[in-house]
Structure 1
């Protein structure tokens, strides 16, 4: 087996890469990830430029965008013509792609960040590899979240990673890409009014005790691109977890008190204010 590793967030990578290496998986990597694995973790790893037989160019902007890389990811193992073409061009397939992306949103949200700095943090090769691996998930395992490293490693090495597991990882990869692209589009949107189309990126914060009625289920989501204030970003200091109606009432109270320039308190029941003091 061969694994292609190119990550910005190296959380958990030491254990994951070491586990793969000890199981006989051949590791291939890029730039900073290569140096991390070779010099710090000290495990054998091939540089992607050696596999592609083409150097990194444009100060690292082009590293993995090469047929020898993407051919190895996209080849369908059950299509004889695909495998014949790989052999014809001396391309070895990749079985695992481990990737996460430049922190565009983190950089772009910093006060005073320049357009040039923001654009430099738009990942190109990473999304291309993730998309290719996710498209070919029946044959290639794609991992974008370091929290998935332990269970993926265990199931891979035990031969227990199912097609359903692979599909779930692919879905997570495409969702990761959608969130990433949405954050870039939101940044470039730059408060222009009434676009013909815009994307919202939200993440689940919690499963709620129940929905509007006790027999219903509900969950709380919050925007990944908005200012981090309001009830979805609040911390529960005491008491049991909130229900759907609790969230609605808390949000209503939050909006009401924010209309006052000084400190204010409000009592809300079923989204209606019952008492207010300022």
Structure 2
């Protein structure tokens, strides 16, 4: 287990991973990042990518933000249904690497991985989907997010360097932090965001566990395939 002793208090935000189901405040966040962190590269997926692209175009931010598809970075297209988009070694190397760890720096150089300073991620709306009128167990299952919680947890674990934001109502505080600190976040802010992030993923997993605990398996939802041997 690594025990880190040397960290940077102020970490300038140069790269971001943004992937959100709830797009509330996304346009305002993108404009704010362009204002406070000019030259930032943003990596994104799916509908979030399209929303950011539209904001960049509408506000003429092409000279201030660079937008890149995660699939272009990883070299892998998204799995059908969006089941795998961000679960990639180089992404997690870029989230979990420690600034003053020489072996980590060698790994980054060896793989050509990007170091990520900011993640803005929120999750599939499991609770709303499971509670919708007429929702089945399969509707609930399909809305269990895998990549999102993994990104949030990896980013929050490395609050020493990475800012993890998972709630739209935290966007204004993030932007104020960046305005105050010349495009950088401070350690105490990153730590507060990490606490909120782990609370968010814990509540999400609890909601899933409780729903499955109180929902009986309805086998009539499924047809058995031929590979089971039955």
Which residue, 105, 111, 116 being the options, matches 2:138?
116
* TM-score calculated relative to the size of structure 2: 0.79
- Match of 1:98, SS? strand
Residue of structure 1 in register with 2:19 after alignment: 6
Listed as ranges, the gaps of 5+ residues in structure 1 are: 193-278
The Cα offsets for residues 179-210 of structure 1, whole Å up to 9 and x where unpaired, read as 00000001101168xxxxxxxxxxxxxxxxxx
Is the contact between residue 21 and residue 27 of structure 1 (CA under 8 Å) also seen in structure 2?
no
After TM superposition, list the pairs within 5 Å mapping 1:142-161 onto structure 2.
142-159=164-181, 161=185
**2:68 counterpart of 1:46:** yes
What count of residue pairs does the alignment treat as equivalent? 192
The Cα offsets for residues 86-139 of structure 1, whole Å up to 9 and x where unpaired, read as 011100100000001011001101122011111111111100000000000110
Which residue, 175, 191, 195 being the options, matches 1:167?
191
Closer/same/farther in 2, CA of residues 190 and 78 from structure 1, 3 Å limit? same
Is the contact between residue 163 and residue 185 of structure 2 (CA under 8 Å) also seen in structure 1?
no
Deviation at 1:40, TM superposition (A): 4.8
Which residue, 114, 136, 144 being the options, matches 2:158?
136
CA–CA distance in structure 2, aligned partners of residues 39 and 14 of structure 1 = 9
Moved more, 60-69 or 145-154: 145-154
Is the contact between residue 34 and residue 47 of structure 1 (CA under 8 Å) also seen in structure 2?
yes
- Across the aligned residues of Structure 1 and Structure 2, the Cα RMSD in angstroms comes to 1.5
Deviation at 1:162, TM superposition (A): 2.3
Residue of structure 1 in register with 2:211 after alignment: 187
**2:42 counterpart of 1:20:** no
Whichever structure has more helix as a proportion of its residues is: 2
- Match of 2:175, SS? helix
CA–CA distance in structure 2, aligned partners of residues 40 and 12 of structure 1 = 11
CA–CA distance in structure 2, aligned partners of residues 102 and 59 of structure 1 = 13
* TM-score calculated relative to the size of structure 1: 0.66
After TM superposition, list the pairs within 5 Å mapping 1:1-278 onto structure 2.
1-22=14-35, 23-24=37-38, 25-42=40-57, 44-159=66-181, 161-190=185-214
Structure possessing the higher radius of gyration over alpha carbons: 1
CA–CA distance in structure 1, aligned partners of residues 112 and 185 of structure 2 = 28
Listed as ranges, the gaps of 5+ residues in structure 2 are: 1-13, 217-230
CA–CA distance in structure 1, aligned partners of residues 179 and 72 of structure 2 = 27
CA–CA distance in structure 2, aligned partners of residues 27 and 158 of structure 1 = 21
Is the contact between residue 4 and residue 98 of structure 1 (CA under 8 Å) also seen in structure 2?
yes
